[in-house]
Amino acid sequence: MSKHGRREANRLIRQQQLQEAKRKRSIRISAIAAGVLMLVSVGAYVVYTNTADTTHNVPQQANAAGTGIVAGSGPIKVEVYQDYLCPSCRAFHAAAEERLQAMVRENKITLTTYPIAILDRLSTNRYSTRSAAAAGCAADSGKFAQFSDALYDKQPAEGGAGYTDEELVNVGRSAGLGDPFASCVRDGTYSGWPGFATEESSRRGVTGTPTVFVNDKKVVPGQGQTITDAVFNAIAGS
Amino acid sequence: MRTWQPWLSTGARAVLAAAFLIAGAIKVTDLDASARAVNAYQLLPWELARFVGVVQPVLEIGVGLLLLAGLATRLAAALAAGAMTVFIVGIASAWARGLTIDCGCFSRGGALPVGQNPNYAWDIARDAALLALAIYLIVFPASRYSLDRRMA
């Protein structure tokens, strides 16, 4: 081999070695990046599950699962998942609540209402959670339905500030609730409860509000049908 | 290699990085909602949906940062392409099953209120465009203004 040829061969080998080193480094960087991504995401999940509320108070009138407020003891089970900030819940409440309460009095249905909080992002002061917690306080004073009426009557708009705790106390007073209710709201007695009820609702497949179950079957309105009509159809068919 | 290719790759990195960083940042501040958004697709049991809902925004931000820095570009692009494929399949399946949900792409998602209609076609078109960028980056990961290039 000529001197020139040998030099050329050495140059090629060096070039190949250089390229191989580059390739290895790029693989190593990718492996490290992948490892960091994996560690960070698993870490985030561990932190998330460990910071979740594990203890919370449950209103006295709640169902056995500690997730909703029960009224009546009729044979047909009607369960309503609602968020006090949700306009569709307000519409459903306005259209259906009176008839549902009448059915409770006639002992036709057992009505369980789940105040969940899926719209906290749509108020600047976590109104969904706080109003649901206050509803738990109202339940302790035996005025859950009256307080719900009052809340929907004065529903704040999405996107702004919902009522403060003090304003919720005043809404309660207008619904006939007294000092035990006021201190329950101010002390945040049930502030951890809506989060728990919401998580349990997710487990059950509730992905929006209002969601209604009649005898454990989720009511799905047909094309052009209102949820109110669908619910009363389902009750009539039970 | 044509001279404009590294610039195109830089552009693809910038667009994808912006999409991932914005999508992740919106969701990471409310992981409960993110979990519910995944649950709204009704494809996974709640425990798994919650895991995905918590991990996804974190990964989105991670991939976004890698793309922004141009570090491990091919890996980041492959992850981005995988994510886009999953998103497109998920949205298409929600569409096919007649679910009316917010896709939770650039928001925290969840069911849409009655009377509001989702625009799945637009969501899928956007994700397909992002998928195309990611595939381009897998094929041509070398780009200007990248750590990969600086360290090479």
pLDDT at B136 over 60: yes
Query: Would you state the pLDDT for residue A189?
Result: 96
Cβ contact (<8 Å) for B46 and A34? no
At A61, list the tokens.
């009138």
Domain that residue A16 falls in: 1-52
Dihedral (C-alpha) A206, A212, A215, A219: value to the nearest 10 degrees?
A: -90
Same structural domain, A145 and A105: yes
How far does B48 lie from chain A, in Å, by closest CA? 11
Name the DSSP letter for residue B117. -
- Other Cβ atoms less than 10 A from the Cβ of B88: the count is 18
**Same domain flag for A75 and A28:** no
Please state, in angstroms and rounded to a whole number, the distance separating the CA atoms of residues A125 and B150.
Answer: 47
CATH number of the CATH domain containing A176: 3.40.30.10
Structure token pair of residue A156: 């704040």
Q: Are A114 and A68 in contact (CB under 8 A)?
A: yes
Does one domain contain both A91 and A203? yes
Q: Decide: A48 and A41 in contact? Cβ < 8 Å.
A: no
Q: Is residue A35 situated within a structural domain?
A: yes
Report yes or no: A82 and A116 within 8 Å, Cβ to Cβ.
Answer: yes
What pLDDT, in 10s, does the model give residues A33-91?
999 999 999 999 999 998 876 789 999 989 999 999 999 999 999 999 999 999 999 99
A20 and A79, same domain (yes or no)? no
**Residue A97 predicted with pLDDT over 60:** yes
- Nearest residue in A to B30, CA atom: A121
Residue B79 or A2, more confident:
B79
Q: Could you read off the pLDDT of B88-112 as tens digits, one per residue?
A: 999 999 999 988 888 888 877 777 7
pLDDT score, position A1? 61
Is the CB of B75 less than 8 angstroms away from the CB of A203?
A: no
For residue A138, the model assigns a pLDDT of: 98
pLDDT at B2: 67
Residue A59 domain-assigned?
no
User: How many Cβ atoms from other residues are within 10 Å of residue A225's Cβ?
Assistant: 12
Looking at residue B113, what is its pLDDT?
Answer: 66
Q: Is B35 exposed, middle or buried (0-12, 13-18, 19+ CB in 10 A)?
A: buried
DSSP-derived letter for residue A62 is B
CB-side neighbour CA atoms (13 Å) of B61:
14
What's the whole-number average pLDDT of chain A? 94
The residues near A198 (Cβ < 8 Å, ≥ 6 apart) are A116, A117, A118, B32
Domain ranges of chain B: 5-141
Cβ atoms of A136 and A189 closer than 8 Å:
yes
A173-189, pLDDT tens digit by residue?
A: 999 999 999 999 999 99
Rounded Cα gap, residues A215 and A43, in angstroms: 41
A60 found inside a domain: no
Cβ distance of B152 and A22 shorter than 8 Å? yes
Residues A205 and A116 in one domain: yes
Mutate to test the interface with A, among B34, B48, B66 (most CBs of A within 10 A): B66
Q: Residues of A with CB below 8 A from B80's CB? A: none
Across the interface, whether the CB atoms of B114 and A48 are under 8 A apart is answered: no
Same domain, A46 and A76: no
Q: Distance between CA A114 and CA A201 in Å, rounded? A: 9
The residues on B that touch A, with CB distances below 8 Å, are 30-33, 35-36, 39-40, 42, 46, 49-51, 54-55, 58-59, 62-63, 66, 71-72, 74-76, 79, 101, 108, 110-114, 148, 151-152
Query: In this prediction, does ipTM exceed 0.90?
Result: no
Sorting pLDDT into bands at 50, 70 and 90, what band is B1?
low
pLDDT single digits (tens) B48-86: 999 999 999 999 999 999 999 999 999 999 999 999 999
Q: Can you tell me the distance from the alpha carbon of B94 to that of B98, in angstroms, rounded to the nearest whole number?
A: 6
Q: Does A24 touch chain B (CB under 8 A)?
A: no
Using DSSP's 3-state secondary structure scheme, residue B44 falls into: coil
For the residues of B117-139, what is the DSSP string, one character each?
---HHHHHHHHHHHHHHHHHHHH
**pLDDT tens by residue, A101-153:** 999 999 999 999 999 999 998 899 999 999 999 999 999 999 999 999 999 99
User: Per the domain annotation, does A58 fall within a domain?
Assistant: no
What are the backbone dihedrals phi and psi of residue A81, each rounded to the nearest 5 degrees, phi first? -100, 125
Examine residue A176 and state whether it is found in any structural domain, yes or no. yes
pLDDT of residue A4: 84
A33–B74: do the CB atoms touch at under 8 Å?
Answer: no
Q: Is the pTM of this model over 0.90?
A: no
Per-residue confidence band for A5, with pLDDT thresholds at 50, 70 and 90? confident
| B64 vs B115 pLDDT, higher one | B64
Interface test with B, best of A20, A29, A123, A198 (most B CBs within 10 A): A29
Domain count within chain A: 2
Task: Decide which of A194 and B117 is more confident.
Answer: A194
Closest of A133, A171, A151 to residue A85, by C-alpha? A151
Query: Which one-letter DSSP state was computed for residue A157?
Result: P
pLDDT at residue A51, rounded to an integer: 85
pLDDT in tens, B14-55: 999 999 999 999 999 989 999 999 999 999 999 999 999 999
Indicate yes or no: CB of A198 within 8 angstroms of CB of B75. no
Q: Is residue A129 part of a domain?
A: yes
Mutation target among A207, A209, A228 for the B interface, most CBs of B within 10 A: A207
